[in-house]
Amino acid sequence: MDDAEAVRRVLAGDDGAFRVLVDRHGNGLHRFCRARLGNDDDAEDAVQDVLVRAFRSLGRYDPGRSFAAWLFAIAANRVKTRYRARFMELRLAERAQAERSAEEPVLALESGVEFQALDRMAAEELRAAVGTLAADRRVPVELYYFAGLSVAETAAALGLGTEAVKSRLFRARKELASILGETGQPTEPMKGRS
């Protein structure tokens, strides 16, 4: 069942069909919300909030549009209005958390644990870096990279043309490469290996 069919069924009275949309888009929504809000609990609350709002607004969804684009337009607005005041402090908290994680010694009993710790740190570094971008680049990055929307869907969600989105994503990618690449190189031989 594609998104348009699921919406048709919900509008016809089959509320259960909404679960298809919840399951299909929940993870992308979570990644998007988590990027802004800084912790999983707030992200889960925001996902729930966005999906309930989407359900209640389904009558205004245009089936000719991408459902993902419509849904994430709601998400972008809701996260902005509900959590605007927290965003600045969360950016600082993200950096602090990344620092603390890097300083903790890790005893790896198996390689899987190492990669999990490294992935968590990589996620924190990525979120912190994205958080430093200007809003006109940050939101397209969050939609395209974190939520995994297509370029066209990202453009539709933001009310922009696809070329404008591509341009912003290109500049953002360069900026992120600079942020993540230029300050992380060790200047002395690695220490601590056994």
Task: Give the nearest distance from C-beta 98 to other proteins in angstroms.
Answer: 7
d(CA 116, CA 168): 31
Q: Which of 185, 91, 68, 182 is nearest to 138 (CA)?
A: 91
* Rg of the chain in Å (alpha carbons): 19
Of the residues 4, 8, 9, 30, which one makes contact with other proteins according to CB under 8 A:
30
Structure tokens at 13: 């009275």
Region 45-104 residues binding other proteins, contact defined as CB under 8 A: 45, 47-48, 51-53, 55-57, 68, 78, 81-83, 98, 102-104
Q: Does 114 bind other proteins (CB under 8 A)?
A: yes
146 binds other proteins (CB under 8 A): yes
Query: Where does residue 30 rank: exposed (0-12), middle (13-18), buried (19+ CB within 10 A)?
Result: middle
Tokens 């309930």 correspond to what residue? 52
User: Using CB under 8 A, which of 12, 23, 62, 135 touches other proteins?
Assistant: 23
Select the residue interacting with other proteins from 5, 19, 92, 96 (CB under 8 A). 19
- Sign for the CA dihedral angle at 58, 64, 65, 68 comes to positive
Pick from 174, 134, 139, 130: nearest CA to 159 = 139
Summarize as ranges the residues that interact with other proteins (CB under 8 A).
15-16, 18-19, 22-23, 26-28, 30-31, 34, 40, 44-45, 47-48, 51-53, 55-57, 68, 78, 81-83, 98, 102-109, 114, 117-119, 121-126, 129, 144-146, 148-153, 173, 176-177, 180-181, 184-186, 190-194
